[in-house]
Amino acid sequence: MSSLNNSTNIFWQECPVGKVERQKLLNQKGCVVWITGLSGSGKSTLACTVSRELHSKGKLSYVLDGDNLRHGLNKDLGFKPEDRTENIRRVGEVAKLFADSGLICIASLISPYRKDRDACRAMLPDSNFIEVFMNMPLELCESRDAKGLYKLARAGKIKGFTGIDDPYEPPLNCEIKLQQENGVCPTPSAMAGQVVSYLEDQGYLQC
């Protein structure tokens, strides 16, 4: 992980156009929808489906996908605990900026450690952090294994893989929990509908 130094002699620059003005322009309220869960639980699919549903309603959103961010912003980070923490911190800061711009920011990351997710929640003013827990069993996630990562982890070719030899700490007080119903996983459309309905009920889709 690259070394981080505390900045000194810096001052916050205010701008005459603020969050309230941007939200009025977009007729929506900025927030962060943070989707967490095991690899293969359906986080990215849900994020894209929610974004598409919001787009169909004329609402502006942006998806921050964990894998995509590791191609650029976080490409210098590995998967050691301290790197994972810095990975989530950076995404949290970017998500905060998107929310401040008035957008609905959808962050899709395993984000296995509770303290790191809670730190991101604490960044957001007015509690505009909506944690969505993809509560899918390991067996289901491993049976999907679209990227072949579980197979590599089981073979010992990947170390520190969440759910296999590295822990996943589930949320304790998430806003939305998505899980199987009678042993059947809801469709992405149905799960996205739950998320969008929550945003509607909480007043995020109007200003």
Angle (CA) 125-73-120 rounded to 5° is 25
For 114-125, what is each residue's pLDDT tens digit?
999 999 999 997
The reply to whether 128 falls in a domain is: yes
Contacts of 194 (CB under 8 A, 6+ apart): 176, 178
How many whole angstroms separate alpha carbon 169 and alpha carbon 166?
A: 10
The reply to whether 10 falls in a domain is: no
- Which residue blocks in 79-205 are alpha helix, DSSP H? 81-100, 114-123, 138-144, 149-154, 188-201
Q: How far apart are the first and last CA of the chain?
A: 40
pLDDT over threshold 80, residue 12: no
Question: Partners of 134 in the beta sheet?
Answer: 37, 178
The reply to whether 87 falls in a domain is: yes
Determine what percent of the chain is predicted with pLDDT higher than 70. 97
* 1 confidence band (pLDDT: 50, 70, 90): very low
* 15 confidence band (pLDDT: 50, 70, 90): confident
Q: Which element (helix H / strand E) includes 26?
A: helix 19-26
pLDDT over threshold 90, residue 37: yes
The reply to whether 14 falls in a domain is: no
Residue 111 known to be catalytic: yes
pLDDT over threshold 80, residue 3: no
The reply to whether 69 falls in a domain is: yes
**The total number of structural domains that make up the chain:** 1
For 139-178, what is each residue's pLDDT tens digit?
999 999 888 999 999 999 999 899 999 999 999 999 999 9
Q: What is the per-residue DSSP string for 69-110?
A: HTTTTTTT--SSHHHHHHHHHHHHHHHHHHHHTT-EEEEE--
CATH number of the domain that residue 137 is part of: 3.40.50.300
The predicted pLDDT at position 69 comes to 95
The predicted pLDDT at position 185 comes to 94
Looking at 3, 111, 143, 189, which residue is catalytic?
111
Range of the structural domain that residue 120 is part of: 19-201
